[in-house]
Amino acid sequence: MNRVVRGLYNVLFAVFFIISSPYYFARMWRRGSRQTEFPWKKGFTQRFGKYDAKFKQAITNRHRLWMHAVSVGEVNVSTQLIQAMEPRLPNLKIIVSTTTTTAMEGLHSKLPSHVSKIYYPIDRRAWVSRALGTVRPEAIVLVEAEIWPNFLWRANQLKIPIFLVNARLSERSYRGYKRFGFIFRPIFASFKAVGAQNGEDAAKLRELGCRPEAIHIVGSLKFDAAKLNEKRSLDVAAMLRQLGVSADAPVIVAGSTHAGEEAILAEQFIQLRKKFPKLFLVIVPRHMERSRAVGRDLSAHGLKFVYRSEINGVTQCRSGEIECLVVNTTGELRYFYESATIVFVGKSLTEKGGQNPIEPAALGKPTVFGPNMQNFRDVVRCLLAKDGAVQVRDKQELEDAFVSLLADPVRREELGRNAAQVVRENLGAIERTLDMIVKHFEGSELYVAPKAS
């Protein structure tokens, strides 16, 4: 039966790969071609399980752990987890993989050079076998639940323990894994340990096949990943002054926006400026390759804007000369949140799923999002229960919320204070997750017991 299932999967995967690869390679090229340090060609062969001599030399004669962080959000989580892990497992060589060029840029900017960074192999049997045969990890840590069967089947054949951390299941993923349970149920059952964010996710994981004794409810690692101890690499306040934004001007920062949201924000901004003439808008699209399309939406509404990448060529502007900044660079959203008067969290108004509201909450910023925050349901529930955010049902309520908050600094301060408190109350998931992982290494030469406090 297993052989039939795997054969069927590989046939279907080959068909899907042939059909979809032009789209995915085109998207990878668009993202990578806009990055000078990490163009799409750099590390391209790693996607097929081929690694250069420099990487092979770096892992030679070392005990290795392979951690996979799918994209930018998981990169932030993996960074915190690695920082906590290294003192406990100092003799373990950590290799981190990711899928996108944007996330790879994040890995290089956030992690030291002794942590190796590679691209995750495409899930074809020969390519994942070659990758695992080269890396030969003693354990694998998957950040969040993106399950690729060939990779995990081969890891199980090699008897490599697999940990799933910060496991969050969207309704779509849950239905998909359940529908194809004949493929995924044995995979979920094989996990050594699973760190679930909450009881609801833990119940779903049990239904999908995870062994009850393997599941640990640890909370969301993204609360810990929002810790604000990184060295500041961008002076947003100075940048805004350069664009003619006065120190007392209110600033709306719309983070991780998706198609359709920028046009709504532009329309509302025009109305808001009538009441708040110094108002300035910062838009940070979730995917920077959409920046030109965002610019077209803003131009259609008559907004005077500039792209973040073009600021170096901009001389000191007069007040009102520039009304909006479009951030077409990566890894800087947090710094723009720091200068926000109000934050709008994208992918919540015209798309489903939502983006991460924890970063602005950790900064104590009054935060607004739309009705579609399914991917952060538990976080949203905490924020709303403690009056730490505002959720709106549609674009009219969004505009009303902006008006209300811009006119009421006391309310803004209250929302921000409550949000920051929610984040503080939910810290600790990193340590609980780490305890779950390092337990596997206790008694080995790799393990160092934590010092008594």
Q: DSSP letters along 175-209, please?
A: HHHHHTHHHHHHHHHT-SEEEESSHHHHHHHHHHT
Third-level CATH fold of 31-227+428-441? Rossmann fold (3.40.50)
- Tokens coding 40: 């799409």
Per residue in 307-328, pLDDT (tens digit) is: 998 887 677 888 889 999 999 9
Say what the pLDDT of residue 452 is: 55
Tell me the Cα Rg of the chain: 23
List the beta strands (DSSP E) in 200-322.
215-217, 251-257, 280-285, 305-307
Closest Cα partner for 201 from 174, 161, 162? 174
Whole-angstrom Cα distance, residue 75 to residue 312? 28
Residue 369 phi, psi dihedral angles, 5° rounding: -145, 165
Residue 438 phi, psi dihedral angles, 5° rounding: -70, -20
Q: Where in the chain is the domain with CATH 3.40.50.11720?
A: 31-227+428-441
- Tokens coding 207: 């239904």
Closest Cα partner for 75 from 128, 37, 120? 120
What is the DSSP-derived secondary structure letter of residue 30?
H
Per residue in 317-371, pLDDT (tens digit) is: 888 899 999 999 888 899 999 999 999 999 999 998 999 999 999 999 999 999 9
Residue that the structure tokens 């390092």 belong to: 438
Residue 36 phi, psi dihedral angles, 5° rounding: -75, -35
Say what the pLDDT of residue 38 is: 59
Contact call for residues 443 and 90 (beta carbons, < 8 A) = no
Q: List the Cα angle 39/256/79 in 5-degree steps.
A: 65
Say what the pLDDT of residue 240 is: 94
Contact call for residues 350 and 258 (beta carbons, < 8 A) = yes
Say what the pLDDT of residue 393 is: 97
Say what the pLDDT of residue 36 is: 54
Whole-angstrom Cα distance, residue 362 to residue 367? 11
Whole-angstrom Cα distance, residue 108 to residue 415? 34
By three-state DSSP, how is residue 122 classified?
A: coil
Third-level CATH fold of 236-425? Rossmann fold (3.40.50)
Q: Where in the chain is the domain with CATH 3.40.50.2000?
A: 236-425
pTM of the model: 0.80
Whole-angstrom Cα distance, residue 221 to residue 432? 9
Per-residue pLDDT tens listing for the chain (453 residues): 588 889 889 998 889 888 887 877 777 676 655 555 556 678 889 999 999 999 999 999 999 999 999 887 788 889 999 999 999 999 899 999 999 888 888 898 889 999 999 999 999 999 999 999 999 999 999 998 789 999 999 999 999 999 999 988 878 889 999 999 999 999 999 999 999 988 888 999 999 999 999 999 998 888 888 765 666 678 999 999 999 999 999 999 999 999 999 999 999 999 999 999 999 999 999 988 899 999 999 999 999 999 998 887 677 888 889 999 999 988 889 999 999 999 999 999 999 899 999 999 999 999 999 999 988 888 999 999 999 999 999 999 999 999 999 999 999 999 999 999 999 999 999 999 999 999 988 877 776 666 655
Say what the pLDDT of residue 317 is: 86
Contact call for residues 278 and 252 (beta carbons, < 8 A) = no
